[in-house]
Amino acid sequence: MSARMYLWGLSLLPHLGSITIRRLVKALGDESRAFWASVEELRGVAGINPAKAEAIVMARSKMDIVRDWERLNAASTLQLTTWLDKDYPWRLLEISDPPPILYYQGDLAYLDRPAVAVVGRRRASPRGLGWARRLGRDLGAAGLTVVSGLALGIDAAAHTGALETGKTAAVLGTGLDQMYPKQNRQLAQNICLEGVLVTSFPPGTPPLRGNFPARNRIISGLSIGVIVVEAAERSGSLITASMALDQNRDVYAIPGDPRDLGAAGPNQLIQEGAKLIRGAEDVLEEMRLSSQLPLPIEFPAKSKAEPLEGIFGKLLGCLHEPLHLDDIALRTDLPMASINSALMHLELAGLVEELARGVFQRVG
């Protein structure tokens, strides 16, 4: 039987992490012998205590590995790659504890490109959502794969931006058949078409709390660097940043107002040595990647029917942060009809984008 099948079987057994699996395979000679290890071998080689060794053997006895392997390979909804395969993401192999199995949907080759992770809080501010979407779009346009975790908020905004111009990879904390959160189901389907969904968890795995640190380790492991857009002082995004440092990856942060709770995490990272960035251009420069971002830089053509030039300047002057239409009207003292007309021109020119219904921000 194939080494791949037994490695997959080892990944399903309880109490066996990636480092222990490697140790077993090396000590016993191959994946098959490691899979069939006795209680004594589990205790002697891997240092597993008697109760856990018994639990591993008991779980193995309930498996029909050949039948289960054949069923898995017959499924058309997912694919898998292992340490032993040439298409396993090479960057992930560089970390100390890469998962032995990756399940995926989409094109795994996008993870061979330079990749940057964009992460942040779920309850993101309009400003944070704007930054995440802009970073995703600009990094995607530059040919990088944007990696994130498919969560609500910053993750979803980064994936969405990347899909506008390039490719993205979403790392899940569940099985591929247990989409979480459900609100991002359509986004996940779009990513399958223009990117890749990846997880180390087998089908049927629900969104357990303990799964997400492992997911975060993969997010940083797949990436050259990690950008933290918004995060509280204690958050999963900061855990991802810490893992990135352990994996010898770069960490970048978008600074924010010290009074904003969402800026506490990035500001703390900057104090601790993370690289402050003002946009995708800074990331590319730090990585020494030669690429030009196709950002629009020209104003729309003058309209003979309506003198909008002065309005353009007023709108662009206040839209350095996300604003609702009502706030734009208060700040510019312009009639709503003129604002709507000018925003339409600016959107068509690529100078302004609508982040949410009635919320606009300047591009670039």
Same fold, 1-74 and 108-287: no
Q: Kindly state the average pLDDT of the residues 79-96.
A: 94
Helix (H, G, I), strand (E, B) or coil at 311: helix
CATH number for the domain running over 309-362? 1.10.10.10
What pLDDT is stored for residue 298 in this prediction? 35
What pLDDT is stored for residue 336 in this prediction? 79
Q: Kindly state the average pLDDT of the residues 179-201.
A: 95
pLDDT at 208 over 90: yes
pLDDT at 348 over 80: no
Radius of gyration for the alpha carbons in the chain, expressed in angstroms and rounded: 24
pLDDT at 16 over 60: yes
pLDDT per residue over 193-205, tens digit each?
999 999 999 999 9
User: Residues 6 or more apart from 302 whose CB is under 8 A from it?
Assistant: 308, 309
- In percent, the amount of the chain with pLDDT more than 70 equals 93
Q: Work out the pLDDT band at 260, boundaries 50, 70, 90.
A: confident
The rounded distance, in Å, linking the Cα atoms of 218 and 331 is: 44
> What pTM did the predictor assign?
0.79
Task: List Cα–Cα distances, 154 to 69, 115, 166, 350, in angstroms.
Answer: 37, 17, 18, 22
What pLDDT is stored for residue 1 in this prediction? 57
DSSP state of 176: T
What pLDDT is stored for residue 293 in this prediction? 39
pLDDT per residue over 306-338, tens digit each?
344 578 888 888 898 888 888 888 888 888 777
What pLDDT is stored for residue 360 in this prediction? 87
Report which of residues 157 and 341 the model is more confident about. 157
Q: Kindly state the average pLDDT of the residues 222-239.
A: 88
Strands 195-199 and 167-171 come out as parallel
Least confidently predicted of 61-70, 206-215, 276-285, 291-300 = 291-300
Q: Kindly state the average pLDDT of the residues 113-131.
A: 91
pLDDT per residue over 274-301, tens digit each?
999 988 988 988 887 544 334 333 333 3
Strands 352-356 and 359-362 come out as antiparallel
Give the residue among 348, 346, 356 at the shortest CA–CA distance from 324: 356
Q: Determine the topology of domain 1-74 in CATH.
A: DNA polymerase; domain 1 (1.10.150)
Q: Kindly state the average pLDDT of the residues 91-102.
A: 94
What pLDDT is stored for residue 159 in this prediction? 97
What pLDDT is stored for residue 290 in this prediction? 41
What pLDDT is stored for residue 292 in this prediction? 39
Across all residues in the chain, what is the average pLDDT?
A: 88
pLDDT per residue over 42-55, tens digit each?
998 878 899 999 99
Q: Kindly state the average pLDDT of the residues 169-180.
A: 95
What are the boundaries of each domain within the chain? Answer: 1-74, 108-287, 309-362
What pLDDT is stored for residue 300 in this prediction? 38
User: Residues 6 or more apart from 287 whose CB is under 8 A from it?
Assistant: 114, 116, 224, 225, 250
> Which CATH architecture does the domain made up of 108-287 adopt?
3-Layer(aba) Sandwich (3.40)
> 194's torsion region: left (phi>0), alpha (psi -120 to 50) or beta?
alpha
10 Å Cβ neighbour count for 84? Answer: 12
The beta-strand segments (E) located in the chain are: 79-82, 101-106, 115-119, 145-148, 167-171, 195-199, 225-228, 250-253, 275-276, 323-324, 352-356, 359-362
What pLDDT is stored for residue 314 in this prediction? 87
Q: DSSP string spanning 261-287?
A: GGGHHHHHHHHTTPEE-SSHHHHHHHH
